[in-house]
Amino acid sequence: MGLQSGEIRTARAFADRDAVKHRLVTLVKDNGQPPLSATVTLNLVFAENFQEALPEMSDQSGDSASQSDLQFYLVLALALISFFFLLTVTLVIVMKLRSSRKPKLLQCFGPDSYSEASHRFPLNYDDGTLPYSYQLCLSSDCKKNPNVQIAENIVCSDSSGMLFLGNGSSILHTQKETAGENQRRVHISMGLAETQKLRHCKGRALFCFMLVTVWEAVSGQTRYSIPEEMQKGSIVGNIAKDLGLDIKELSDLGVRVVSKGRKQYFSLNVNSGHLITTERIDREQICGRMEKCLLTFEIIVEEKMKLYRVEVEITDINDNAPNFQAEESEVKISETTAPGSRFPLQEAQDPDLGINSLQSYHLSSNRHFSLDVQTGSDGVKYAELVLEKSLDREEQAVHDLILTATDGGDPVKSGTAQIRVIVHDVNDNAPVFSQPVYKVNVLENMPAGSTMVTVKATDPDEGIHQEVKYSIRKITNKASQIFHLDSWTGELTVVGNLDFEEAALYEIEVQAHDGGGLFHRSKIVIVVSDVNDNAPELTITSLVSSIPEDSPPGTVIALLNVQDPDSGENGEVTCSLPSTLPFQLKKPFENYYSLVTDRALDREQVAAYNITVTATDNGTPPLSTAITIPLRILDTNDNYPLFDKTSYTGYVTENNPRGASLFCLTAHDYDLEDNSRITYSITGTQIQEAPLSSSISINSETGALYALRSFDYEQFREIRFRVQAQDGGSPPLSSNVSVTLFILDQNDNSPHILHPSFPTDGSTGVELAPRSSEPGYLVTKVVAVDADSGQNAWLSYQLLKATEPGLFSVGLHSGEIRTARSFVDKDALKQSLVVLGKDNGQPPLSATATVTVVVADSIPEILSDLSSLSAPADPQSSLTLYLVIAVASFSCLFFTFIIVLLALLHSYSHEGSLTTDSRKSKFNFPKSNYANNLTSQYAYEIKDPILITEELANNRDQTSIQVS
């Protein structure tokens, strides 16, 4: 302030913490003696404009911030005091309950070392009234307790009532005594803690590892030689090495073994490349008496479509012993037979060849006979019985001999037969066959029971010596199951099945002998003729079960092997296919056909084929065999996904929830599996410089569109984008479709007040109206806008609240605030008007504007009126007073409780229950007895002493105290 001028100026710049309203008292004094002065009070309001200053001038300043801080600290102090008080009370209650759960007398023994005595009344006294009892509540400090001192001395007791003292100096024993009606019993037991035992276990483990690798490699040509009777799984040779095939590629090349016969004796180990046997091989069963036994088969390489022929020679081993067809045979010799006569004996059969076959015969020692071994033109050895000394039937009618046949194997094997020689009377004529050789031709389909040939032999003798019987002298085991010779008629009949494919020729040696033992031999040769009785055998040697639909023509599907056991034209076979199928047969090798495609395939038209291959021979009538080959056509990705529509249009109301489903797009793909598995995705640009993926998403599996955010019609009204459907093929195929999403408007925007504009501090707008205004005077205009469209944006105004109803009016559609009448003196200086602006939506939304109208003709008039307004009472002071009183009260209560609690901690309580006639009852407080080691629990007198015994030294299992 200027000393002489009186000008009031700012001394510094205003800061945010400076108050808005300041009160200045200015002193003006003169220079006289004595000086006289006068004061003036100035109210200064600092604001940018009149509208901002007016609310400050109307409000009374106060220290509201300091009041609110004080109230907060008082509430915090009250809460803390209450919390500590309740916590202290809770702890006291919990400790009290825990101490009352078990007898404090034996707390030092632990919870498992005692048992509580049951509550019972002592026996009645002489007056018959109810007994009395009392309970002691002792502190945990046993040394300061005058009533009991036992915890340090009692150790244990046994079931008889004896107890030990902890110091070891004395032992207490309870004594039971009955004296009239006064009975009492004291029982003390204490349990000691159980000891725990620890067990240790140790284990040892020994692991041994052994690795043995055996690798054998046999090199050679595609012809091998192995002995018969090898074990199943024996190695014949390394066929992969001999054929120049890589062992690592055997499984990938599809190398397989195919045999011509019905049985497959060999297989290929694709891991080692070895050719191994699949079963035991019997040379005699397969090749019979043939000098060379060969097994032929093919090695097929499926991937390269190559064929290799392999021969395996089976060599003979000595696995068969000579065997006689009959274990016993009879030889009838006339007693007039001259010495030196020879009698043929039955031959032994040995299926082996060479040195392993039959080599010699031996006869048991006998003075009448010897053995002569002869070799026939065919190399077969046979034995003849030679009569060395004349026979005398009267001296010995029967001679039993043992004939032994041996082979030349190592070790030597042998077979025996018993020869019974029967001595007959003279018979000098032997039977004679009509033919030396009987030859017959038969068809292989001759039915069982048919007669093939009849042999005939005659004997000129008479009587029993003329009777001729027929027998088979030599026949193979297989032929013996097919043919039967009638011993009386000589008819040879078929009893089994003839098969040209198994044997085309049979030789049977027959013998005719009369009743006198003379015989004659002949041979029957049976020639079997082939008939077309076997249908072709069609075998799949290699097969591809599925091929892609884009396979080129000529793709090999299967490799077929055809066999016909018949001979000649009956064994010639032709394979064929239905002409409607897109396949054909090719013959790359003899007896092999390959099934290939002859045109393009389409899985969408035909997904699978059942290919029937028919094999027909040239016999009369022709026989055929058909097999069905299933072929599945694999899908290739040759079809594009197709949408149901060429374009999609959808609608969504604005303010939709996030994640709301919009609609679903569907596309179809005629391919299969991954090729038809469609993945949907959105391809598009941005929406108002934001990526489309932040607004819309699509389920990649179902094609459902979802809104990732809530749309606003006021921001954009439609969204255009494209959806791509892509399959899972390789390479993938895709197609696109355009999608248009329209946003529908909702009444989601309230009207926004543009005028009057409100200050940022939340105060209302202030307008000035002269008191001399006429009715209809335009005070101000409320202007509002609505961001919605259509009916949702049509606005109307109305006066919602006014300080003086009827003083102002608001235009319905214009929002103009005008005076409805002239001002009078009683009208308030400050008029508050609440104007409502609402739209025409459903439901309608609205906004309010509070307009403060100050009625005055000038600013000085406003200031003088505002200074005369009385300040309202501050309600905060009462609340502060109540909080101070509450804090003080709770503090006093808390400290009082603590003092009382500390005083009660050092006291003892005695609880007694007396009879109604208390004058006759004796009530004694407990006293220390017997060296302060045990205190009675009840108040009646203890007259009996506690005896000291020495029997407790060995019993220290339990200790409990019970007085009754």
The answer to whether residue 947 scores a pLDDT higher than 50 is: no
More confident residue, 187 or 878: 878
Q: 828 CB contacts (<8 Å, ≥6 apart)?
A: 803, 804, 855
**pLDDT band at 49, cuts 50/70/90?**
low
- Quickly tell me which residue has 């003390």 as its tokens: 188
**Contact yes or no for 839/857 (Cβ under 8 A):** no
**pLDDT value for 961:** 32
Separation CA 538–CA 555 (nearest Å): 21
The answer to whether residue 867 scores a pLDDT higher than 80 is: no
**pLDDT value for 758:** 66
**Least confident among 197-201, 442-446, 464-468:** 197-201
743-755 residue pLDDT tens? 988 888 889 999 8
**Least confident among 148-162, 228-242, 263-277:** 148-162
Mean pLDDT (whole number) for 522-526? 93
**pLDDT value for 494:** 93
pTM recorded for the entire structure: 0.37
More confident residue, 177 or 395: 395
281-309 residue pLDDT tens? 888 888 887 888 888 888 888 888 888 89
The answer to whether residue 63 scores a pLDDT higher than 60 is: no
| DSSP, res 104 | G
The answer to whether residue 648 scores a pLDDT higher than 90 is: yes
More confident residue, 33 or 55: 33
**pLDDT value for 393:** 75
Domains and CATH numbers, the chain: 1-77 (no CATH), 102-188+934-964 (no CATH), 223-315 (2.60.40.60), 537-634 (2.60.40.60), 642-744 (2.60.40.60), 752-864 (2.60.40.60)
More confident residue, 879 or 919: 879
For 557, the token pair is 């599907």
**pLDDT value for 465:** 77
922-932 residue pLDDT tens? 444 444 443 33
The answer to whether residue 164 scores a pLDDT higher than 50 is: no
**pLDDT value for 684:** 74
**pLDDT value for 66:** 61
**pLDDT band at 889, cuts 50/70/90?**
confident
**pLDDT band at 864, cuts 50/70/90?**
low
509 to 437, 470, 810: CA distances (angstroms): 9, 11, 145
295 to 135, 204, 920: CA distances (angstroms): 113, 58, 129
More confident residue, 494 or 689: 494
**pLDDT band at 147, cuts 50/70/90?**
very low
**pLDDT band at 597, cuts 50/70/90?**
very high
Cis amide prior to 843 (ω within 30 degrees): yes
307-351 residue pLDDT tens? 889 999 988 888 888 999 888 999 988 888 889 999 998 888 888
Highest mean pLDDT among 132-136, 574-578, 683-687: 574-578
Radius of gyration of the chain (CA): 66
816-836 residue pLDDT tens? 999 999 988 888 888 899 999
- Quickly tell me which residue has 């009959």 as its tokens: 326
Separation CA 755–CA 815 (nearest Å): 10
Q: 900 CB contacts (<8 Å, ≥6 apart)?
A: none
Cis amide prior to 111 (ω within 30 degrees): no
467-483 residue pLDDT tens? 899 999 999 888 889 99
Cis amide prior to 731 (ω within 30 degrees): yes
Separation CA 589–CA 566 (nearest Å): 20
**pLDDT band at 651, cuts 50/70/90?**
very high
**pLDDT value for 906:** 58
Among residues 702, 611, 620, 709, which one has the least CA distance to residue 656? 709
- Quickly tell me which residue has 């006198």 as its tokens: 516
Question: Cα dihedral sign for 683, 686, 692, 693?
Answer: positive
260 to 280, 311, 435, 690, 844: CA distances (angstroms): 18, 12, 41, 77, 97
- Quickly tell me which residue has 């229950």 as its tokens: 913
Mean pLDDT (whole number) for 137-166? 40
Q: pLDDT averaged over the chain? A: 77
Separation CA 334–CA 319 (nearest Å): 40
Separation CA 961–CA 148 (nearest Å): 13
**pLDDT band at 55, cuts 50/70/90?**
low
The answer to whether residue 273 scores a pLDDT higher than 50 is: yes
Separation CA 681–CA 728 (nearest Å): 13
**pLDDT value for 929:** 41
The answer to whether residue 111 scores a pLDDT higher than 70 is: no
For 608, the token pair is 């699978």
Among residues 644, 612, 638, 640, which one has the least CA distance to residue 626? 612
**pLDDT band at 52, cuts 50/70/90?**
low
718-734 residue pLDDT tens? 889 999 999 998 899 99
Residue type at 634 in one-letter notation: L
**pLDDT value for 865:** 63
Report the SS3 class of residue 164: strand
The answer to whether residue 885 scores a pLDDT higher than 70 is: yes
**pLDDT value for 201:** 40
The answer to whether residue 73 scores a pLDDT higher than 50 is: yes
Report the SS3 class of residue 797: strand
